[in-house]
Amino acid sequence: MTNRHGTPIWYELQTTDAAGSKAFYDGVMGWTVGGPPESGMDYRMIGTADGGRVGGLMPLTAEMQAGGGKPGWLFYIGVDDVDATVQTIEANGGSVGFGPFDIPGAGRAALVADPGGNRFYIMRGSTPEVSDAWNRERVGRCSWNELEAPDQAAANAFYAAVFGWSYPDRMTMPGDMGDYVFVEANGETIGATMQRGMVGEPNGWQFYFRSTLDADAAATQVTTLGGTVQSGPMEVPGGDRIIVASDPLGVVFGVVGARQ
């Protein structure tokens, strides 16, 4: 996957219950989470209804959990050079959790964090195909990447320095919530950043995936399969209807409903 520097290329669910996560997300999103490989690390591909892939599911081992691993969604951002980008991340107040490391047959990657402690991967793929794991319109893919940061201005400056992101537009939110600042990468709007509200509120990257179900049906499935609907269904600018939900392990994610 050799997408341009700064483009999201892969989404990863880390879980302590692989079977339960498969049942939940297959039911809510219309995905097909694969089984464990015959050999090597247990990493399971997340297939979309049209035969593509949006990411992977990684069961957290006891060792990973002892080292601080916990259920959650992470994304991979494509870069031109992993080692050089690691240096840029550290020079701009970020940190490196693991790597750089090579993934046989896939590329080179590192697990890093921004100055606010929000983790993500960087990766340079070794194969020529272009990832469409992020695609605003395509069913099964990630449609929106949203960062809630403890210091929005500092986060925006960090991602601009590391990935060349720009922030061409903003929307004022109600009350004292500040501005919802849109993120542009390589000429495309990929999401937005916002200031974290009250101290102690969750923050970090949240991902909105486009389901095969409409928003109302997805909300019903979330509840039926043991998750919780946090907000919605509701309409957002542009006409999409979404929900924000948490899976049975408490992992928060967004669903963009299929258009009718």
- Percent of all residues in the chain with a pLDDT value above 70, rounded to a whole number: 95
- Taking only the tens place, the pLDDT of each residue in 14-30 is 999 999 999 999 999 99
Give the tokens for residue 109. 């990657």
Q: Which amino acid is at 5?
A: H
Give me 180's structure tokens.
């919802």
Dump the DSSP string for the chain.
Answer: --PPTT-EEEEEEEES-HHHHHHHHHHHH--EE----SSSS--EEEE-TTS-EEEEEEEPPHHHHHTT--SEEEEEEE-S-HHHHHHHHHHTT-EEEEEEEEETTTEEEEEEE-TT--EEEEEEESSSPPP-SB-SSSTTSEEEEEEEESSHHHHHHHHHHHH--B---EEEPSTT--EEEEEEETTEEEEEEEE--STT---EEEEEEE-SS-HHHHHHHHHHTT-EEEEEEEE-TTS-EEEEEE-TT--EEEEEPPP-
Please report the domains of the chain, with CATH numbers, ordered by start residue: 8-125 (3.10.180.10), 142-256 (3.10.180.10)
Q: What is the pLDDT of residues 51-102, one digit of tens each?
A: 999 999 999 998 888 888 899 999 999 999 999 999 999 999 999 998 899 8
Taking only the tens place, the pLDDT of each residue in 108-162 is 999 999 999 999 999 998 888 889 999 999 999 999 999 999 899 999 999 999 9
Rounded to 10 degrees, the C-alpha dihedral 252/131/155/85 comes to 130
Q: Which of 72-76, 105-109, 227-231 is least confident?
A: 105-109
Report pLDDT for 206: 96
Amino acid type, 202: P
What is the predicted pLDDT for the residue at 202?
Answer: 53
Write b or e for each residue in 78-105: b if 16 or more Cβ atoms lie within 10 A of its Cβ, otherwise e: bbeebeebbebbeebebeeeebbeeeee
Predicted TM-score (pTM) of this structure: 0.94
**Which amino acid, residue 102?**
D
Q: What is the pLDDT of residue 199?
A: 44
Query: pLDDT over 90 for what percent of the chain?
Result: 76
* Peptide bond preceding 37 in cis form (omega within 30 of 0): no
Q: How far is CA 222 from the centre of its chain?
A: 19
76: Cα separation from own chain's centroid: 8
pLDDT at 198: 46
CA distance 121 to 76: 4
How far, in Å, CA of 45 to CA of 34, rounded? 5
